[in-house]
Amino acid sequence: MQTLVQRRRSSAVALAAILTGAIACSGLTGCNSLYSEGATAGAGIAGAAIAGSITNNAAVATGIGLGAVAAARAGVQYSQRVVHTNTQDSIANAAGPLTVGAVAPWKAVHSVPIEEDEKGRVTVSRTISSGTLDCKEIVFSVDREATENRAADTAFYVASVCRDGNKWKWASAEPATPRWGALQ
């Protein structure tokens, strides 16, 4: 019994340490990797603690732990997709009203700081279609200011946007893959 209580106490301490780190990180920008790894590790520890209190069967405990980790990863990926969608919507909204060759600034401020706020410029390189289906090809930049640890830089990307009612929406999949990975 003493060992079981000690194991639960150490699991609770480890979980509290991870949650404290995640909360502290939430006040900072650019903590995406800590957020992702912390959520996975926290879910693993929580899953082990729950499994330890429910069963002594190793197979059942493993299943509970793997389920908790899978759920945490799915949650992290969902939140990253939401952040990326908000950034894409910011760019599409800035590009939509532009004529070919016009340039406008765009900016994405994230309500949950798992990634840095971003800004840049966007231009329409060509009109793909107009009328019932309004679509444009855009070129946008992501401008990063200099900090103590890195020089200022600018990266350029090509994408497509289309009108959806009164709003302009992101219509690309592949051109932005190097930027956002598989998490479009």
Structure confidence at residue 110 (pLDDT): 82
Structure confidence at residue 107 (pLDDT): 94
The total domain count for the chain is 1
Is position 20 within any domain?
Answer: yes
Structure confidence at residue 90 (pLDDT): 92
Taking each helix axis from N to C end, the angle separating 58-95 and 32-54, rounded to the nearest 10 degrees, works out to: 150
Cα(116)–Cα(109) distance, integer angstroms: 8
Q: What is the pTM of this model?
A: 0.62
Is position 80 within any domain?
Answer: yes
Is position 37 within any domain?
Answer: yes
Residue type, 35: Y
Is position 184 within any domain?
Answer: no
Residue type, 25: C
Structure confidence at residue 16 (pLDDT): 44
Query: What is the extent of the structural domain holding 63?
Result: 1-177
Structure confidence at residue 103 (pLDDT): 96
Q: What residues of the chain score a pLDDT lower than 50?
A: 2-30, 34, 175-176, 184
How far, in Å, are 4, 15, 45 from residue 1 at the CA level?
5, 21, 20
The per-residue b/e assignment along 131-140, b for 16 or more CB within 10 angstroms, e otherwise, is eeeeebbbbb
Is position 182 within any domain?
Answer: no
Is position 68 within any domain?
Answer: yes
Is position 183 within any domain?
Answer: no
Structure confidence at residue 136 (pLDDT): 95
Is position 35 within any domain?
Answer: yes
Sorted by sequence, the CB contacts under 8 Å of residue 129 that are 6+ apart come out as 135
Structure confidence at residue 39 (pLDDT): 54
